[in-house]
Amino acid sequence: MALKAERETANSLGDAIDRILDKGLVINADILVSVTGVELLGIKIRAAIASFETAAKYGLEFPAGTKMETAAWREAMVGKETCPQCTKRVKVDELLGEGCPWCGWLSVKAKKAGVTSRGNGQHQEEITPLEAR
């Protein structure tokens, strides 16, 4: 019996928007209006749609007045990776060194370090009060 690779597809608009914000989307458009070969109007549009985390990762410029000293901004600058089992975003050092806190997945590095289990197997997000961040 041969195994076939399967790809999970987005099931909802929320999944599609989450993917766009995670990966980013860039729109480039050049519009030229000309009459008999004479260019009358030229418009160049460059737009990027991405989360702040993705934009920072790719070095995109932010609007003037963006406060980059906030706790949320510092959190966005921390390197994160997607858990291969539950697809939640986890800090890279935590995911590789200790395992996924959401589903309990363990990396080879964590197994070699003697970690036996991580997380509770439940997909419950821990809410941290804004004052504590």
Q: Exposure of 74 by Cβ count < 10 A (0-12 exposed, 13-18 middle, 19+ buried)? A: exposed
Whether residues 83 and 46 share a domain: the answer is: no
pLDDT tens digit sequence for 102-129: 898 999 988 888 888 765 544 444 444 4
Residue 118 counted as domain residue: yes
Question: What torsion do the CA atoms of 48, 53, 57, 61 make, to the nearest 10 degrees?
Answer: 50
Report whether pLDDT(47) > 70: yes
Residue 7 counted as domain residue: no
Dihedral sign, Cα of residue 133, residue 16, residue 51, residue 74: positive
Residue 129 counted as domain residue: no
Residue 130 counted as domain residue: no
Phi, psi of 24 (to 5 degrees): 90, 155
Question: Which residues face 31 on adjacent strands?
Answer: 43
State the pLDDT confidence band at 1, using cuts at 50, 70 and 90: low
pTM beyond 0.75: the answer is no
- Domains in the chain, number: 2
Whether residues 53 and 93 share a domain: the answer is: no
Report whether pLDDT(59) > 70: yes
Whether residues 86 and 56 share a domain: the answer is: no
- Average pLDDT in the 21-42 region? 87
What domain range is 34 assigned to?
13-61+70-77
